[in-house]
């Protein structure tokens, strides 16, 4: 896949959430090592229809073609998640900051929004995760009724659902660290050097109270 051009005639490229999903469909297919035919076959049971390779190609190209952007439904996103065995959030991962792509939205200007807005929507923020955690607690505590026949399976309510939010919080923290320092290793190095500098200053202050 060709690298995204950072600027087109000096104008920052913006991408809609649907274009970002389309971009990640192509990435997910590459991750699995599938041809477009194989990806279409994997999707068929979950979409309820068989896409042609040409249709899948058009979906992937819609990441770059503003005149034919694929509109993904919630059903489509669930099918993508199940077929590629990836969380739905994977498909909303924006291009990295180095690509200089803005997020297109009705309230965005010509330059688009900071893509962190999309990550906030997917991963949540410390100030708005509590509501979701309470819902997951309630879901995990609920017990499904017994199936009416032996052929049916009861609905599952795993007890670790609220704990999964911790992993999302970790992912968000890593994203913020990378945004500030480039990568987590660099962040660790910077913080270690800062801690050493603070220890040195403290030792100097103890030796010379004046």
- Interval 183-194: pLDDT, tens: 656 666 767 777
- Per DSSP, the three-state class of 11 is strand
pLDDT at 35 exceeding the cut of 80: yes
User: Higher confidence at residue 23 or residue 204?
Assistant: 23
Question: Could you give the CA distance from residue 189 to residue 179 in angstroms, rounded to a whole number?
Answer: 15
Output the six-digit token pair for 151.
């052929």
Q: Residue range 73-92: average pLDDT?
A: 97
**Closest among 119, 62, 77, 76 to 95, alpha carbons compared:** 119
Angle at 16 between CA 107 and CA 97, to 5 degrees: 95
pTM score, two decimals? 0.74
Output the six-digit token pair for 154.
């009861």
């Amino acid at each position: 896949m060709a690298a995204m051009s950072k600027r087109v005639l000096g104008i920052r490229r913006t991408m809609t959430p649907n274009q970002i999903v389309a971009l990640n469909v192509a990435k997910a297919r590459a991750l699995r090592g599938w041809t477009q035919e194989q990806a279409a076959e994997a999707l068929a049971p979950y979409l309820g229809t068989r896409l042609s390779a040409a249709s899948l190609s058009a979906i992937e190209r819609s990441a770059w073609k503003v005149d034919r952007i694929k509109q993904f439904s919630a059903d489509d996103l669930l099918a993508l998640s199940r077929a590629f065995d990836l969380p739905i959030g994977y498909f909303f991962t924006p291009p990295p900051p180095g690509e200089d792509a803005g997020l297109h939205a009705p309230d965005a200007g010509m330059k688009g929004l900071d893509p962190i807005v999309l990550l906030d929507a997917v991963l949540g923020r410390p100030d708005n995760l509590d509501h979701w955690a309470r819902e997951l607690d309630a879901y995990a505590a609920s017990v499904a009724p017994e199936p009416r026949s032996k052929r049916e399976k009861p609905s599952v309510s795993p007890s670790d659902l609220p704990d999964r939010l911790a992993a999302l919080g970790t992912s968000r923290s890593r994203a913020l660290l990378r945004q500030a320092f480039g990568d987590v290793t660099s962040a660790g190095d910077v913080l270690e050097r800062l801690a050493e500098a603070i220890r040195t200053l403290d030792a100097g202050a103890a030796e010379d109270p004046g």
